[in-house]
Structure 1
Amino acid sequence: MKRLVTAAVGVALLLLLTGCTPSGVAVEDFAGVPDDITTSGAIPEDTDGTPQAFYLNDGGQLAVVLWGSSTCPYVGTDISVVKPADEGNEVKVTVADLPDQPCTMDLVPHTTVFWTPVKTTTTKPLIVHVLDASITVPVK
């Protein structure tokens, strides 16, 4: 009986720990820009639509801001490490295909938030590859 309890506790602990490991899927996405940006500058109000990226929550999360139509926004789906911290500190954000429908011709921001990948660091600049852009996120 004691072994069974020990095994059950071990399995529960393993499930708890793996549940705390951030995955590469988006945590959330929303229209607009985040309120709690950690950066040396602010998001410009007048933009040419260039993608932007910022740390949130003291570097624990990464916000990727993509500009496009309000009715057919670009939305990040997942993030993957291209080069870990000791090899260049680069990630790639995959973006969902746009719907096959008419879209408004406005230019508005849409934010996707990811957990900052564990194989990267906030103590070096992070290169984020998204769409056709490469964004450098400054040291946290």
Structure 2
Amino acid sequence: MATSVRLRRAGLAAAALASVFLLAACAPPKSPAENYSGAPVSDHEGSGDEGGADTGEPQAGWVGEGGQLSVTLWGSSTCPLVGEHISVVEPAATGNRVAIDLKEYPANQVCTMDLVPHTTVFWTPMDVTTTKPLVVEVQGTEITVPIK
């Protein structure tokens, strides 16, 4: 009888461990879902700060129902400003704020001096909400994305 109790406990422990791995796999990745040259296209248009369209200012907005967040930055076409990682600075309960880290280029990289938009789309982190304004920190700027 002691053997069957040990087997049941081992089985429950294995099931618990498998559950942890499955739940971790469901979390959205912190790396970009998509990158493309240009401003948000019609099926990617966000509902955030649209002020940067012609001015070169950073812009951000929700994509679709808020499952993704687009960030558009202006820079060189040969060395575009590309979002590489999104992190939650303040979860929804304490502020609803994220930070975007940018791809870094080698110091000796030759870049053109033009100014073009580049959009990075991230999966919305689980610790933020679309029911409160979201502050996006990127490139030393804060962009407020309104409620979805």
Aligned match of 1:34 = 40
Q: TM-score, normalised by structure 1?
A: 0.83
Q: How many residues align?
A: 139
Residue in structure 2 matching 1:101, options 103, 109, 117: 109
1:9-61: per-residue Cα shift (whole Å, max 9, x none)? 6655543332211122222211112322131775665x221111011131001
Aligned match of 1:56 = 63
Deviates more, 1:3-12 or 1:102-111: 3-12
Q: Distance in 1 between matches of 2:64 and 2:21?
A: 25
1:78 aligns with 2:85: yes
Aligned match of 1:66 = 73
Deviates more, 1:120-129 or 1:93-102: 93-102
Residue in structure 1 matching 2:25, options 19, 31, 36: 19
| Gaps in structure 2 of 5+ consecutive residues | 1-6
1:57-116: per-residue Cα shift (whole Å, max 9, x none)? 310011111111111101111111111112111111011223432212211111111111
1:112-139: per-residue Cα shift (whole Å, max 9, x none)? 1111111111111100000111101011
| Gaps in structure 1 of 5+ consecutive residues | none
Aligned match of 2:3 = none
Q: 4+ runs of 1 displaced by more than 4 Å? A: 2-14, 40-45
Q: CA RMSD in A?
A: 2.4
Q: Distance in 1 between matches of 2:49 and 2:81?
A: 23
Q: Distance in 2 between matches of 1:79 and 1:98?
A: 18
Is the CA contact 1:61–1:115 (under 8 Å) kept in the aligned structure 2?
yes
